[in-house]
Amino acid sequence: MSLPLHIGFIMDGNGRWAQKRGVPRKMGHEAGAKALEKIIDRCRTLGIKCATFYAFSTENWSRPKEEVDALMSLFDRYINELHRKISSGEADVYKDVRIRFIGDLSVFSEERLERILALEKLTDRQTDGLCVNIAINYGGRNEIVSAVNRFIQENPGVPITEKELSLRLYTDGCPDPDLIIRTAGEMRLSNFLLWQSAYSEYYSSSVYWPDFTPKELDVALDAFSQRTRKFGNVAK
C-alpha cells in the first residue's frame, strides 16, 4: 500500500458533534482535542513523516467571542498538557514526534508564545520521526503574502521563484501534502495549505472530527492507495 509522506487534516465538525448531543459547542472542541492523540499515534506508527492539523483559521476570529475565548483557553491547556506528557515521558505516543505551530503567531500574547516555543524546543531534536504541525491563526493566503513580503525584503528588485516562495512557507521542511482529509462531509479547503496542495489528493470523511478514529484514518489511507496520481502526465 502506498502511504502519503505528509497528510493535512481539516478537523471539522466539532460544533455539530456537540449540537447533536445537546451540549455547548466548546464541548465539541474539547472532544476534538482528545481525538487528536490517537491520530498522531497512528500516523507515527505507520511511519508517516508529516501531519498538519488545522486547528484555527485566520477567519475563525469572526466566531462569537465566547467560542473564540473557549478555543484559546483550550489551546493553552492542550499545550501545557502536551508539555507535561512529553517531558515526563509518560506517553509513548509522542516518542520521536516533533511538534511545530504554524500560522501567524505574532498576534498571540507573550505568555502563549512562550508556551508554544517551549513545547517546540522540547521536541525539536526529534527530526527522524513524525513532524506534527498544528495550524493556529493559519491562513493559506496570509502565508503566501508573508512569504512574498519576506522575499522582497531580503532581495529587493529580484523576481520571486516557486522554489524561493516554498522555502518561506510555514511548512518548510515538510514535503507538500500527498493527502488532505476533511471531516464532517465538507468538501472545501477553507484557506488551508493553498500553495502546498496543488497536487494533493482530497478525501472527505462523513464523520465529525471528535469521532474520527485511527480506523477512519485507515479507510482514508486505503482510498488514497487506490488513487492514480499523474501530476499532469499520462497514467503510467
- Helix (H) / strand (E) element for 108: namely none
Site string for ligand IPE, 170-199 (x = CB under 6 A): --------------x---x-x---------
Read off the C-alpha cell for 194: 493553498
Q: Which residues contact 64 (CB under 8 A, 6 or more apart)?
A: none
Q: Does 8 bind ligand IPE (CB under 6 A)?
A: no
DSSP tag of 6: E
CB 108 within 8 A of CB 87: no
> Quick one: which of 55, 147, 169, 181 contacts ligand IPE (CB under 6 A)?
55
Q: Which is nearer to ligand IPE, 64 or 157 (CB)?
A: 64
Can you point out the beta strands (E) in 58-129? 97-102
> Quick one: which of 12, 41, 176, 178 contacts ligand IPE (CB under 6 A)?
12
> Quick one: which of 40, 56, 133, 180 contacts ligand IPE (CB under 6 A)?
56
Residues that bind Mg ion (CB under 5 A): 12
* Set 12, 41, 176, 178: catalytic member: 12
Nearest approach in angstroms of CB 113 to ligand IPE is 20
CB 8 within 8 A of CB 57: no
Other CB atoms within 10 Å distance of the CB of residue 106: 8
Nearest approach in angstroms of CB 25 to Mg ion is 10
Name the residues annotated as catalytic: 12, 60
